[in-house]
Amino acid sequence: MNGVRKKRASRGGRDTDDVLCCCEYINQKGERSHLAACLCDCEDLDEACDRWITCKSLQPEVLVRAIETASDRFRVPWIRGAKKVDLSVLPPLVLLPISLHVAAFHVLLGVVVLSSLPILVIWYYQLTHRRKGKTLLFLSLALFSLGYMYYTFVQEVLLKGHIGWGHFSAVTCGLLLTLLCLAKAKQDPGYLKRSTQGAARGKRERANGVCTAEGHAPRSQTEIQDENVHLITEKNWCTICQVLRPPRSGHCRICGSCVQRLDHHCVWINNCIGARNHKFFILLLVIFQFTSIYGLMVTLSAVCRGRSVFSALFYCPGVYANYSTSFAFTCVWYCAIITAGMGYVLVIQLLNISYNVTKREARIALREKTGRCILGGLVVDTGTFNQGLVQNWLQFLSVDCAGAEQDLPDIV
C-alpha cells in the first residue's frame, strides 16, 4: 500500500479517523457538528414552534423528532468530542430546590408542595413504566436528594452550632456507606450472556419435543422425557436473547437482557436487581434507613428544642417564624416522606426473602392465580421455593451466579 493508510469516509463525507475537538460531535444523522451550531438547521424544532404559535395541532411524530433533535444537541465539551447529556437528569436539579424553598414559606404551601411531589413521581413512573423505557430521572432525583439534604444538614444545623462533630461524623459515614452500596448495586445483576452454543443447544432441545413425533404409536419413556424437556425448554427459552434461562431467571424488557434470579428493575438505581446485586440492594436500603432516621432525629432535636422527636415532626411551635428553621423543617418532612417510601420497599423485600419469592414471581403468580396473598396482601406465597424462614435466608445469602449454566435435566 506504499505506506499509505486509507481512511474510511463517514456518511457525512468526513474521515472517521479525524480526531474530534472538545466541542465537536457526530450527530444523529452521522454528520460532524459543533456545539456553536446547536441553533442552526433546526427544521424539526422550527416546525414544532410554528405549529404551536399558529395554534395548530402538534402531531406526535413532530414532537418526537423535535425532542430527539434537542436531546441530541444538548451536550457538554469533553475530551475527543462533546458528550451527550440525558435531559431527564435536569428536572430534579431545578425543581427540587425551588419546590422546597417555596414550601418553606408557609405551612399550607408545605402541605401542597410535599403532597404533590410524590404524586408527580408516581405519575412519571407509571408513564415510563408503561412505555418500558429507561430514564435517569429517578436516579438523578435520588442522588441529588442525598446531596442536597446533606448540604442543608451542614448549612442549617452543623454550621450554626446546633450539633457537635460526633453527630456530623455519624451522618457522613452513613452517607458514604449508602453511596458505596449504591455503587455495588449498580454493578452487573447477573446478565445471561448471549452465546451461540446456548442458542444451538436450545434449538436442538426444542427439536426433540413432541412436535417432531409422528404417528400414534404408544410413547416410550424416552419420548415422554423428551416431551417434558420440550415443554420446559419452551418455557425457559428466551426468543429475544436466544439463551436458555436457568430457573427463576427472567427477561427485563427495560434493560433488554435476561437476568439470573430476576427480582425487578429498580428505577431508583436504573438497574435490574438480580442474583449478583440483590444483597447489596438490601444493604443499601438498610443503611439508608438508619442514616436517614438518625439524621431526622438530630435535625428535629436541633430545630424543635424541648420536644420529643415524634411530636416535633407534627407540631413544632414557632418553626415558621424564621425562614432558616422553616426550610430545615421542610427538608425534614421531605426526608420523612422518602424514608417512609423506602421503608415500605424494604419491608416488602424482607418479606419476599423470608418466603423465598421474587417480586417477578409474585407478579406472575397473581396474574396466573397460582399464589396466595398473605399478611394483608404484602407478600404472595407461591409455595414453589419456600423451605422455611431459616433456609430461605440461608439460600438468599448464598446466592451467586455459579449455577447460571445449568444443564436441562437440572431445570426439569
Active site residues per annotation? 266
**Cα angle 252-256-257, degrees, rounded to a multiple of 5:** 70
Contacts of 195 (CB under 8 A, 6+ apart): 243
Q: Between the CA of residue 300 and those of 74, 206, 260, 339, what are the distances in Å?
A: 41, 63, 43, 15
Which DSSP state fits 136? Answer: S
Provide the grid cell at 290: 438508619
Secondary structure of residue 259 in the 3-state scheme: strand
What is d(CA 249, CA 302) in angstroms, rounded to the nearest whole number?
49
Task: Give 185-221 as a DSSP string.
Answer: HTS---BPP--HHHHHHHHHHHHTSGGG--S-PPP-H
Q: Which residues contact 57 (CB under 8 A, 6 or more apart)?
A: 51
What are the E-state strand segments in 103-180? none
- List all residues 6 or more positions away from 151 whose beta carbon is below 8 Å from its beta carbon: none
Going by C-beta distance under 8 Å and a sequence separation of 6 or more, which residues neighbour residue 54? none
* Ramachandran quadrant class, 80 (left: phi over 0; alpha: psi -120 to 50; beta: rest): left
Grid cell 450472556 — which residue? 193
404 touches 257 (CB < 8 A): no
The SS3 assignment for 284 reads helix
